[in-house]
Chains A and B, each alone.
Chain A
């Protein structure tokens, strides 16, 4: 027995040593960076182009290996906080708050200025997405704004007029009612829907903003959704989803996806065959739509009630703060501003290139092999800078928590357990309670909150007196754009 025991120990030690000595990057003469991202053709081409770019610039060569098994938010966070994070990683939307606050991302503010990938190199509207608490933690790999994709064949099939480029909620409802009535005659088993939203969070934010309302006040110190405009948004959502069934519920959409024979790309397949007349997605939808054939596509703005807007965000490339190769990871971020990378984004059908000027390139606007996409290219290149606004993220409540509350409240509304009035109040109350918890737990945030509350008081006074508000007082990206549109901003500090 003793020899068996000893044998097992020896075998374990030997296997561990073997694994250690045969790691892929041990024999590599150049640094090997690990990149948490999707393993697809575009990413592989990105790596090839990066190596070519390094060679052109006479910079030392670097190898990059894709790690597509650790893309989950919690996996990235757990590994990062355990000290074994990947050198570079894709960071989406709300993740910047989590990773930035935790300290696991490398602060590249100074390096970015030096190497030319500071926030000035990308869209001005993305500033609040690229910076977290004043520090830069990465550079956009792409920039996304969800628009409405129309499959023209689907509308033609039922003889329904296509929606105009800019339209109102009433028009959405009128055309939607006509469409579902024509597409779903009595006895229809598999319902055909008018629109499939990107996510309820995006849709709700756009609808609220259309009425001049944000989830938070100007300094993002309070959730202000207990408001008649928020009630109206909930009322419309209930009407469109439950009463008129223009939009599927999450469960309906999930069931339709399960019915489809194409896992992963089911939504696009359903759009191509006409089960959804419209999709609300960014330009990257082309990556999934192109393999389905040359669809007659058109892109329009989401419906609004006065203030046209779309949610504009980005996918960042960030570096792990404990990476062994800080210079090489910074070079990779610098590469994201290069022409070769930006044209790759434009060519591949991904979202907008990170550097705005490339949205005017032929590859983006008029890809020769895809004339059916030319209208979409025009719309995306103009709409994102014109009406794109980033998500409003309060420093006092995690956006993931806000989205979870919103989703629960919306589901309760759709289940008939809350009225629109109760839904609006519940969402505001629960979010404000989360803000209070943050203030109780985090003394640093409490100091910031007190300062911002002072500013908010002054803003409220100016609003009451119908006077313009100094731009630098406002931290909510929506209010900055909305007040600018309304002529309510001033460059001077009134204090």
Chain B
């Protein structure tokens, strides 16, 4: 090919790429660089615009200093991290959905039993609705019929209907979904409370019949459970330390995952934050010193952060579980008094304490059937059947097959999903909160993404909003680097 013809080809190629390159420059690279520069200025749209000659002032790190001393920033950062506590459950949900769908498509011979079960459910629910005159509080019977119909359709189509239904939230426009969920959460007429109300009525009657069980039994049970989890975690850390499978940093992370819920629980009981911190610090020191003073017969681990990825992943599950246990400790003694007048279904979006969980439940619903599930489905179909056959020949149980074949084989997929979920979790939450709660009540659902919108587009401080955006970027980047460093990226890991 001559020089002339090469140049011509290059030019044609560039012409094809030009729209994309221009789009990238205009809408990504230039705004990105500009926003970085702006984060060090006092750009306020009311003072710096085409109608004003006020010069833009370089303010150094002022925006960042103000940000870190802004109490709302910490509240919104806390909200963002709190909402991210749902991520491990969302990932686990996607995996479960993918596993169920894989099984459904394989087991076509189960049509008859499914039809029988569905018929029974439909008849029972139908009779229930007819006998009760279809009152609102029996909406769960209607859900039962829907579930039975789904079961039949799914089994008859070899799982195709299930896949479509699970993936449906991804087809629907976000705002439409949020409006729908807002209606579902309506405290008076929403189907969620219509379904929950009879359950709570029954539960109230149960509490009223045995108030002592709930006032004392539930907290005692929760306490025992919490101690059990703590004992299990400390024992696990001890074994890991003894076998040199965990470095000092991992041990610290493992202990902290126990003490964060402890500190929070103490504050819920009215203990001051300083005392709570002191108690947590004392416990930390006691466990830490006991662990690190133990002999390590296999020598010291290669790195101080060995096993950190496992500890952090485990912490993301342990912390919400322990917080739920701590909540039972707090709520248990108040239940008998509440049950006297009947425990009311929550005001999901209007109550400060329920608004975040309400959004998380909706997020979980959307995440289970999302792209994560499709990725897991693809990952599952790539696992070699020979591995399962070999396991069967060795007499492995279903659980062993999962933990020793499926889970390790899916490691690269899980790693990718974890990275994308963490990024999405940190950046997300804006649309959902904007439509459903306007960031309230009292800022309880305002995330960092929403904060950027408030400062940038409601208050007009674009310089400050850029600083928040870059702090958010630093968080995303830091967590992604952490994931790359400590996450299990390879099947052999």
Contact = CB atoms under 8 A, between A and B. Distances in A.
B441 interface: yes
15 contacts: A74-B458, A101-B46, A102-B51, A251-B347, A252-B187, A256-B188, A259-B186, A259-B188, A400-B458, A401-B459, A415-B442, A417-B352, A440-B62, A441-B44, A441-B57
Interface in B340-375: 347, 349-353
Contacts of A415: 351-353, 441-442, 444
Given A252-B350, A255-B186, A408-B442, A77 B45 contact: yes
A45 interface: no
Given A81-B50, A83-B50, A98-B46, A412 B350 contact: no
Contacts of A401: 459
A102 B45 contact: yes
Contacts of B51: 81, 102-104, 321
Contact of B441 (A102, A251, A259): A251
Interface string B177-199: 00000110011110000000000
A442 interface: yes
A485 to B, nearest CB: 35
A464 B209 CA distance: 65
A258 B186 contact: yes
Given A103-B49, A437-B66, A255 B442 contact: no
Q: Which 8 A-B pairs have the closest CB atoms?
A: A251-B350, A103-B51, A415-B352, A411-B442, A412-B442, A411-B441, A101-B46, A81-B49
Contacts of B50: 81, 83
A251 B49 contact: no
B459 A102 contact: no
Nearest to A411: B442
A190 interface: yes
A258 B182 contact: yes
Interface residues of A, number: 40
B27 interface: no
Contacts of B440: 250, 407-408, 411
B293 interface: no
A417 B16 contact: no
Nearest to A100: B46
Given A2-B12, A5-B16, A251-B187, A101 B442 contact: no
Interface of A: 2, 5, 74, 77, 81, 83, 98, 101-104, 189-190, 249-252, 254-256, 258-259, 321, 398, 400-401, 404, 407-409, 411-412, 414-417, 437, 440-442
B444 to A, nearest CB: 8
A224 to B, nearest CB: 21
Contacts, number: 95
Interface of B: 12, 15-16, 42, 44-47, 49-52, 57, 62, 66, 182-183, 186-189, 347, 349-353, 440-444, 454, 457-460
A250 B47 contact: no
B349 A251 contact: yes
B459 A400 contact: yes
Interface SS, B side: loop
Interface SS, A side: helix
Contacts of A189: 188
Nearest to A190: B188
A104 B458 CA distance: 17
B42 A255 contact: no
Given A259-B186, A408-B443, A415-B442, A102 B350 contact: no
A417 B444 CA distance: 11
A417 B460 CA distance: 29
A189 B44 CA distance: 49
Contacts of A102: 45-47, 49, 51-52, 460
A189 B45 CA distance: 48
A417 B441 CA distance: 11
Contacts of B12: 2
Nearest to B12: A2
A442 B188 contact: no
Contacts of B45: 77, 81, 102
Nearest to A5: B16
Contacts of B189: 255, 258-259
B458 A441 contact: no
A74 B455 CA distance: 12
A396 B142 CA distance: 57
Most chain A CB neighbours (cut-off 10 Å) among B62, B187, B347, B350: B350
Contacts of A255: 186-189, 347, 350
Given A104-B51, A190-B188, A416-B352, 18 more contacts: A74-B458, A81-B45, A189-B188, A249-B350, A251-B351, A254-B350, A255-B189, A255-B347, A256-B188, A258-B182, A259-B186, A321-B51, A398-B459, A404-B458, A415-B351, A415-B353, A415-B442, A417-B352
A98 B442 contact: no
A104 B349 CA distance: 38
A255 B186 CA distance: 6
B451 to A, nearest CB: 12
Contact of A98 (B347, B350, B441, B460): B460
A86 B121 CA distance: 60
A249 B351 CA distance: 10
Contacts of B44: 441-442
A415 B353 CA distance: 8
A417 B442 CA distance: 9
Nearest to A81: B49
Contacts of B66: 437
Nearest to B437: A251
B98 to A, nearest CB: 35
A98 B46 CA distance: 7
A437 B220 CA distance: 51
Contact of A103 (B15, B52, B187): B52
Most chain A CB neighbours (cut-off 10 Å) among B182, B351, B441: B441
A250 B349 CA distance: 10
B415 to A, nearest CB: 38
Nearest to A191: B188
B118 to A, nearest CB: 33
Contacts of A74: 457-458
Contacts of A400: 458-459
A5 to B, nearest CB: 7
Contact of B47 (A101, A256, A259): A101
